Amino acid sequence: MVTTNICKCCFKTFTLDTIHSLMKETNYLCRKCQEQLIQLNLKGKEKGFKITFLYEYSAFFREILFRYKGCGDLELAPIFLDYYANYIQYRFRNWLFILAPSSKERISARGFSHLEEILKPYHLNTFSGITKKQDFKQSDLSLEARQNILSKLEIIDGSKLSGKNAMIFDDVYTTGATIRAMIDLILPYQPRKIQVLVLAKVFKIDEE
């Protein structure tokens, strides 16, 4: 039996024609759109902790992220982890995903927490206790100001991280300042393990 799906990105119909797609219960992207998400699965270290980047921050990734975050297209939420869904659900089902901070004002204006919505289909445990003290966009900050992000963040109910396997989760990595600040915030609460998962890595940063 051939199953026909509708791609959540380009809205075209497609059939399951790869072994990978047949192994998954749900498929959100056609092969053409999936191939435009440039997979990295790149490993590295941040402050001594393992960090994984899933995709390159390409023009295509930037477009779909804007459609999702900027235009509120919630139908796109599942596609960012779609290719890695089975692995993430199995490997990290007992981990606590620490969401990178957004301001209350921005979440209210958007109407949803974009990182929480991305994880929702996979029934993973999340922690949203790291918040911005004031609203700011990191892209609006100079490179120097980005390195002082720790002073702009705070953690609420950090005791919930004690003894847990903590997975810091963010959508885009530019300088790594937010990730480093999050690590500094959660370390005093003595999580059992710390790892970092980022959807996309920026390889070129325009200095101001």
pLDDT of residue 82: 86
Which one of 3.30.450, 1.20.1440, 3.30.70, 3.40.50 gives the CATH number of domain 38-201? 3.40.50
Q: Which residues contact 109 (CB under 8 A, 6 or more apart)?
A: none
d(CA 61, CA 186): 29
pLDDT of residue 127: 97
* Full-model pTM: 0.87
Closest-CA residue to 180 (of 106, 100, 96, 62): 100
What tokens does 84 get? 């890695």
Write down the domain spans for the chain. 1-36, 38-201
DSSP 8-state code for residue 101: P
**Longest Cα separation, the chain:** 57
pLDDT of residue 85: 85
Mind listing the pLDDT tens digit for each residue in 137-165?
Answer: 655 555 555 557 888 899 999 999 999 99
pLDDT of residue 207: 43
pLDDT of residue 137: 60
pLDDT of residue 155: 94
63 contacts 72 by C-beta, under 8 angstroms? no
Percentage of residues in the chain having pLDDT higher than 70? 85
DSSP 8-state code for residue 67: I
What tokens does 57 get? 């921050």
pLDDT of residue 208: 39
d(CA 36, CA 21): 16
Mean pLDDT by runs of 10 across the 208 residues of the chain is: 80 75 71 91 95 96 95 94 88 95 82 94 92 67 61 92 98 94 96 98 68
d(CA 169, CA 116): 10
- Collapse the DSSP code of 45 into the 3-class scheme (helix H, G, I; strand E, B; otherwise coil) and give the result: strand
What tokens does 166 get? 């903590």
